[in-house]
Structure 1
């Protein structure tokens, strides 16, 4: 059994070092030296291997593992950007052959060069990937991501609803996005504890300097506010060594804080050399002797973000400070009217018990439409009707009923189950539109259908089914029923 799986089962706090596999022998040697220590302050030490994080020259997680002199106990990542089902199945087969049985499944951030409208890039989203991996490998340790660092109701609530889908689809643990807002770490933990079957969570943490804050401005889904940057800049003006010491001190404090909150471990980013681990361990030892509970921890954490003559640091942007449970968002008249009109049209044409629906189903299942010319004609008709109205890309497996008539194809990543982690104040990671899942959330809330956002698990669209009409398939006898959270088989937890 893997180190991570053992630690989670035994409820031992665990440290997972993030490793982005750059083509550098020194980078591999340094991480090998870090992992050789086997522990940080007595906590077991493991490694996570990133996938498609940055440059296309990066090694794949499995090739990176093979490049270590001594193969470590590792948690490979699988990023769904520019991927289909067969890519995931191929990685699962390679992992099985190598004796690996744990995987972190991520949708992935924006693929470099992906411009909406210029070329289509498919993203295998994490909910669908979890369904595939859990079916193929029922006993594996599978993880997914959660980003609680959201400050508008629509994006935040939709993120938690999608988190519920990930748990239902088979996630054994969740890893949070990188974040520094302790209130949001508390919030995510309270949310998890309210779930019917709570799962362990890891907090992704990093020592933050002014230079790294500038780099993180280009990382989707990470929030670094102006007041944070101002404080970090003041530290760097004292001296580079002073700023570095303070950043390591804050990281040590944050690790202790999330441990006290109940997190199962940390996913540590930005530690590349043994000396960095030594520095962190020294500060951890210091703070462990000083802090025994959250009441003692909170003022120390606040003080670590203070510099003389500077205002109080805030971790939320000035445009929003939503907290889980707060209700502010309201759908517009247009959003509500659109839903009701489309829902009514769907009931007439696609609810199989209606006489008009029966007639329409009979018509589109005639042998004519199974011929090459007929299929092209029917596809053209469906596309001509639905594209102007819905942004449809005729995926061949219409999911509109499960997405409150907001077409997933209008998301640049094609996500159907909920938002990615890259939104900012309801804006899409691509920056050119409001996130469609924020619109979907407002609509669901207005019409009393929020359960759809957490209970309907939508499988991936298969590559071979795209760009053909979905109508004949919809009316096929024995057409697949909706996949709900309750219908997914669960892996049996080990005793």
Structure 2
């Protein structure tokens, strides 16, 4: 049994060192010197190897794993950036050959150079990726991401609905995206505890200095508030060693707080040298004997974010402080009218129940349309009608009924099951539009269809079907998709913050 699987089964706190592979011997040697210690304050150490952080040309996690002089407990990432089903399936036998059986499945952030409206870039969505691997390798340990650091209802609510789909798709554990707001950590843990089959959760963390905060402004989905930046800048103005010491102290306290909240472990990012690791371990050893409760921890955490002459720190963006469970937004009249109109049109043409839909289905399933010339005509007709109406890109596998008639192809990543983690106050990671899943959330809440956002697992679009009419396939016999059944694991009780 792998170290990570054993730790999760035993409910033992675990530290995973995140490693972004670079083809330099020095970088690998530095990580191996950390992993040689085997533990952080008695907690077992594993490695997670990131995938396509920079570009599709980055060193692959599997190749990086093979490059270590000494084998280490490894969790591979798989990013869906510019990938299709066959890319994921091709990796599985290679992992079998290497004796690896655990994956963190991510949609991935924006691929460098991807500009909407130019060459379409496909992103294999994490929900679909979970289904694919769970079916192909039922016994593997599979993880997925959750970003609870959202401060508007639409983007936050949609995140949790998508997380429910990941549970249904067979995820074994979650790793939270990078964040610092403990109110959101608590919300995420309480959400998980309400699920029928709770799963362990780990948190991605990083020591935060002013320099790193500036870098994180360009990382999609990470929130560093202006109040946080003011404190970090004040620390940097004292001295670089002072700022580093304060960042290490907060990182140690963050780990202690997460452990007290019931998190299964941490995914530690930004620690690249043994010296940094030892400084963190020393800070933990200083603090652990002094903190025995969440009350004691909270006092120390609050003090670590204070400095004379600096305003009190808040972790949410100014003016935005949505909390999980609040439901106040409503779709506009136009959004609701659009849904009802398209729903009625869909029923008449595609329900297979009305005379019109039966006649339409009969007509598009004639053998005539299977000839190349006629298929091109039918494709052109569908595209000319649906593109102005819903932004259709004729993916060949229409999913509008399951996406409240908001076409997934209008998302730059083509995501159908819910948002990525990169939204910021309802804005798409690409910055040029509102996230379509925020609009979908508002519509679902207003028309009583929220179950669609959490229960319907939408498979990925196959390459072979793109740029073809979806009508003949729609009227073929549907193949139901069943979520993977997973065993329930006991979880520790969660104390209130």
Give the TM-score range, shorter chain: over 0.9
Contact residue 386 and residue 392 of structure 1 kept, 8 A: yes
The alignment partner of 2:406 has SS state of coil
Aligned residues: 490
Task: After TM superposition, list the pairs within 5 Å mapping 1:427-446 onto structure 2.
Answer: 427-446=427-446
| Residue in structure 2 matched with residue 67 of structure 1 by the alignment | 67
| Residue in structure 1 matched with residue 494 of structure 2 by the alignment | none
Shift of 1:55: 4.5
| Residue in structure 2 matched with residue 269 of structure 1 by the alignment | 269
Contact residue 151 and residue 425 of structure 1 kept, 8 A: yes
Shift of 1:226: 0.8
**Alpha-carbon distance in 2 for matches of 1:444, 1:36:** 51
Out of 435-444 and 311-320, give the one that drifted further: 311-320
Structure 1: gaps (5+ residues): none
Contact residue 168 and residue 483 of structure 2 kept, 8 A: yes
The alignment partner of 1:312 has SS state of coil
**Alpha-carbon distance in 2 for matches of 1:72, 1:83:** 27
Task: After TM superposition, list the pairs within 5 Å mapping 1:278-357 onto structure 2.
Answer: 278-357=278-357
Contact residue 419 and residue 435 of structure 1 kept, 8 A: yes
**Alpha-carbon distance in 1 for matches of 2:292, 2:366:** 72
| Residue in structure 2 matched with residue 240 of structure 1 by the alignment | 240
Contact residue 197 and residue 488 of structure 2 kept, 8 A: no
Shift of 1:489: 2.7
The alignment partner of 1:352 has SS state of coil
| Residue in structure 2 matched with residue 479 of structure 1 by the alignment | 478
| Residue in structure 1 matched with residue 483 of structure 2 by the alignment | 488
**Alpha-carbon distance in 1 for matches of 2:422, 2:319:** 17
The alignment partner of 1:104 has SS state of strand
**Alpha-carbon distance in 1 for matches of 2:210, 2:419:** 29
Shift of 1:71: 2.0
* Structure 2 residue 394 is matched with structure 1 residue 394: yes
Contact residue 227 and residue 313 of structure 1 kept, 8 A: yes
**Alpha-carbon distance in 1 for matches of 2:58, 2:376:** 41
The alignment partner of 2:424 has SS state of coil
Contact residue 139 and residue 491 of structure 1 kept, 8 A: no
Distance 1:82 1:55, change over 3 A: closer
| Residue in structure 1 matched with residue 91 of structure 2 by the alignment | 91
Structure 2: gaps (5+ residues): 491-497
Shift of 1:99: 0.8
The alignment partner of 1:295 has SS state of helix
The alignment partner of 1:15 has SS state of strand
Shift of 1:325: 1.1
| Residue in structure 2 matched with residue 379 of structure 1 by the alignment | 379
| Residue in structure 2 matched with residue 177 of structure 1 by the alignment | 177
The alignment partner of 1:17 has SS state of strand
Shift of 1:422: 0.2
**Alpha-carbon distance in 2 for matches of 1:339, 1:492:** 37
**Alpha-carbon distance in 2 for matches of 1:87, 1:144:** 18
The alignment partner of 2:76 has SS state of strand
Cα deviation, 1:363-408, whole Å, max 9, x if unaligned, reads 1111111111110000000000100000000011100000000000
Contact residue 207 and residue 270 of structure 1 kept, 8 A: yes
Runs of 4+ in 1 over 6 A off after TM superposition: none
| Residue in structure 2 matched with residue 24 of structure 1 by the alignment | 24
Shift of 1:91: 1.1
